[in-house]
Amino acid sequence: MYEFAPAAEAVLRRLVDGRTVDLAALADTAGLALEDVVGLVQELVAGQAAVVGSLL
């Protein structure tokens, strides 16, 4: 189970639709520092709640 800070909601909303989005766009959407969004996404990937794809 995950517990998230309220500020993470905007990031999570962008991720649940399954579309590809870059980290900078997530940070802009949420009004968070890029480093904070990177940390959140790292936790989601480590917990297998999200995957990182390739644009290639």
Residue 37 lies in a domain: yes
**Number of Cβ atoms within 10 Å of the Cβ of 45:** 12
Residue 54 lies in a domain: no
Domain extent for 34: 6-46
Q: Please indicate whether residue 1 or residue 24 has the higher confidence score (pLDDT).
A: 24
Question: DSSP readout, 12-30?
Answer: HHHHHT-----HHHHHHHH
User: What pLDDT, on the 0 to 100 scale, is given for residue 32?
Assistant: 93
Rounded to two decimals, what is the model's pTM?
0.78
Number of structural domains (the chain) is: 1
The residue type of 33 is A
Residue 1 lies in a domain: no
The residue type of 28 is D
The residue type of 53 is G
Residue 38 lies in a domain: yes
Residue 32 lies in a domain: yes
User: What confidence tens digit (pLDDT) does each residue in 11-53 have?
Assistant: 988 888 878 888 999 999 899 999 999 999 898 888 888 887 7
Residue 56 lies in a domain: no
**Res. 54 pLDDT band, cuts 50 70 90:** low
